[in-house]
Amino acid sequence: MSELTTIARPYAKAAFEFAVEHKAVDQWLEMLDFAAQVVENETIHSMVHGSVAAESLANLFVSVCGEQLDAHGQNLIRVMAENGRLGVLPAVVTEYVLLKAELDKEVQADVISAHELTDQQKAAIQASLEQRLARKVKLNCSMDASLMAGVLIKAGDLVIDGTVRGKLDRMADALQS
């Protein structure tokens, strides 16, 4: 997976910088997302990973995408086809989304709780995280009964473990050392 990320990052960065310069960040995200969906089509996928000539593949890909790609998007597809990198388009989209979130000062936070959180609890967690991280926070909430009680929050590199399971594990470690 990290190899795909390494390959995809320069394409995503170039597309993102171009999009920012031309004030078309959302339009580029739509184009890249559509192109990534085309790559995942079984027929196209087999051609991308087959022995089709780069120019033929690029022309086919551009014709399939049609008006979903502007001239600059078509150029990106042609460059990626020439370099044999069309297969990494889904990873390019992932990297592009991360760059867009950084520009928008947004972060996704996974909130795992033992029980369903109320809207008031979600709002309090979101407000607290926004203040701590100085970013807009989007919560992805889920439940895991094995936590017993409390919440586990993961936002980027930040992990806040306020679960009973986590406290018991830390207590057991302290008693054993």
Q: Per-residue pLDDT for the chain (177 aa), expressed as one digit of tens each?
A: 567 778 888 888 888 898 888 888 889 889 888 888 888 877 777 777 777 777 777 788 787 877 888 888 888 888 888 888 888 888 888 888 888 887 778 888 899 998 888 999 999 989 998 888 888 888 889 998 887 888 888 887 788 888 888 888 888 888 898
Query: Where in the chain is CATH 1.10.520.20?
Result: 2-102
- Let me know if 139 is exposed, middle or buried by CB neighbors in 10 A (0-12, 13-18, 19+): middle
Topology (CATH) of 2-102: Peroxidase; domain 1 (1.10.520)
Residue 61 to residue 174: CA distance in whole angstroms: 59
Please state the pTM of the whole predicted model: 0.65
